[in-house]
Amino acid sequence: MQSLDQLISVDRSSPVPLYFQVAQRLQDLIEAGEIPSGTRLDNEIVLAGQLGLSRPTVRQAMQYLVEKGLLNRRRGVGTSVINNRVRRKVEMSSLFEDLERAGRRPRTDVLECRVVPAPEKVAAALALPPGTDVLSLRRLRYADDVPLAILRNHVRADLGVTAEGLAERGLYQLLRAAGTEVTAADQTVGARKATPEEAELLGESGDATLLKLHRVAFDRTGRPVEFGRDLYRASMYSIDISVRSD
């Protein structure tokens, strides 16, 4: 395999963050099979030197791909490619607006809305230094007064989102009203068992399986503005995927 500096180039004049340019190119190479599953990557210091970037930028790119399930990090072993998950791209949409269009009367209980220092995982997703103030959100979303989803989000703290607004409207609606339009998102869909608290909130049995959706959403400039980790009742919610050949 060629060295990564021969496979990856960045455009420093682009508004798209450098870490995301690196992560996107690496993802393309992995999914195309040019970097095979099982390949062990050089450490961050070596990669940063090869690409002419800072170590924090390379670390953000690697962490982003770890979150997407394309890379695996093990202490004492290093970082390796694990392109073994089934992934489907789905159309980005707002649950609140989807429910409105379907005539399902969305309602929201705001369980948490507070400014917190960004943990490392959140900071990496939002391309922020760890510890930067972000808004931590947790909401219970209803459809026709029936609990449907637990929505866990972190957004940049300066985007005009308030608890009062979230009780009445969807997150993306509030962002648009404040001048930030979400135009793209990377999403990963999976499943896991509900915790006792989650089952109680959603009105499910203790051993219920929930759909989980992890998401990083971007504005028109390519800036990441939201990191979402949502849970849906599998008994009430499905995701439609359209597949077309070229």
What is 39-62 written as a DSSP string? PEEPPHHHHHHHHT--HHHHHHHH
Query: 54-108, pLDDT tens digit by residue?
Result: 999 999 998 888 877 788 888 777 888 875 443 434 445 678 887 887 788 899 9
Cβ–Cβ under 8 Å, residues 213 and 62: no
Topology alike, domains 4-81 and 95-233: no
Distance separating alpha carbons of residues 1 and 71, to the nearest angstrom: 17
Across the range 4-31, mean pLDDT stands at 86
Q: What is the mean pLDDT of the chain?
A: 86
Give the pLDDT score at 15.
84
CATH of domain 95-233: 3.40.1410.10
- In this prediction, residue 115 carries a pLDDT of 97
Q: Residues 6 or more apart from 160 whose CB is under 8 A from it?
A: 174, 175, 177, 178, 179, 180
Domain boundaries, the chain: 4-81, 95-233
pLDDT class of 241 with cuts at 50, 70, 90: low
pLDDT exceeding 70 applies to what percent of the chain? 91
Predicted confidence at residue 110, as pLDDT, reads: 96
AA letter at 138: R
Q: Is 122 helix (H, G, I), strand (E, B) or coil?
A: helix
Tracing tokens 């791909």 back to the chain, one arrives at: 65
User: What pLDDT sits at residue 218?
Assistant: 93
* Least confident stretch, 27-31, 92-96, 115-119: 92-96
151: pLDDT confidence band, cut at 50, 70 and 90?
very high
When the candidates are 1.10.510.10, 2.30.140.10, 3.30.930.10, 1.10.10.10, the CATH number that belongs to 4-81 is 1.10.10.10
pLDDT per position as a tens digit, 160-198? 999 999 999 999 999 999 999 998 888 888 899 999 999
Strands in 78-81's sheet, in edge-to-edge order, are: 40-41, 78-81, 71-74
Global confidence as pTM:
0.65
pLDDT at 56: 93
